[in-house]
Amino acid sequence: MEVKLLSHTEHPEQVIAAAAKLCYSQKADISTLLSDLTPEKVESFVQKLESLGHSSPFEHCAYTFGIEGVSRALLAQITRHRVGASFSVRSQRYCSEEDFQYVVPESIKRHEKHCVRYKALMADIQNFYNKLVELGVPKEDARMVLPNACHTRMIVTMNVRELWHFFNLRCCTRAQSEIRELANTMLKLCREASPLLFEHAGAACAKGYCPEGSMSCGKAPTLDALKAAYVHEVLAS
């Protein structure tokens, strides 16, 4: 897996602070929005917005990633984050997979005998795909035999609000291992580029609670447990 942060909105914190200023200031106008936004005011705006849960200003800033060496199974998962996100993906209709690479999950690598069988199956699929293409079957139809493990590459753009949501779900230990690795790598890149915006980003348990209910890994109390504790405290008082 290779992940690069290709670009992002210039001065994203200032853009977000300007949007917040426009929302809350009666006298703010477009021509002067950025004029008095000192670093201290920018930080204050960003922190206030986050604490209030006022997330719409964060939609004005986007981050674009180049991603390759990931599976089509991961593609099926990441494209569920389509609100506030854009995707451009290598086409199996126009691009040949005559020598496709593929992902071998760590959970399969641990079983040596079955890992050998897994790789042999990939080789069989490769041979059959190539044979279909040789017979004149269009690549768009021959691809039907290709596995979810097949490598793909993509360009992904997400705004900050969607990135928060993505990290909240996919950095969780219950997320599938490949997309969790991707999410953690993307989060690291985001924190390096914009530490203020992504200081508190990550799995929900990083904020002190778990939304997974009975499926929780147990690292943080569930929302139900927190509610029960709160009710108990209120009744006890």
Which residues does the annotation mark as catalytic? 170
DSSP assignment of 15-39: HHHHHHHHHH-SS--GGGTTTT--H
Q: What is the 3-state secondary structure (H, E, C) of 62-127?
A: EEEEEEEEEEHHHHHHHCCCCCCEEEEECCCCCCCCCCCCECCCHHHHCCHHHHHHHHHHHHHHHH
How long, in residues, is the chain? 237
Q: Determine the straight-line distance between the first and last CA of the chain, rounded to whole angstroms.
A: 54
Helix, strand, coil share (%) of the chain residues, nearest 5: 55, 15, 30
d(Cα 38, Cα 33) in Å, to the nearest integer?
Answer: 11
The answer to whether 9 touches 60, Cβ cutoff 8 Å, is yes
The answer to whether 85 touches 59, Cβ cutoff 8 Å, is no
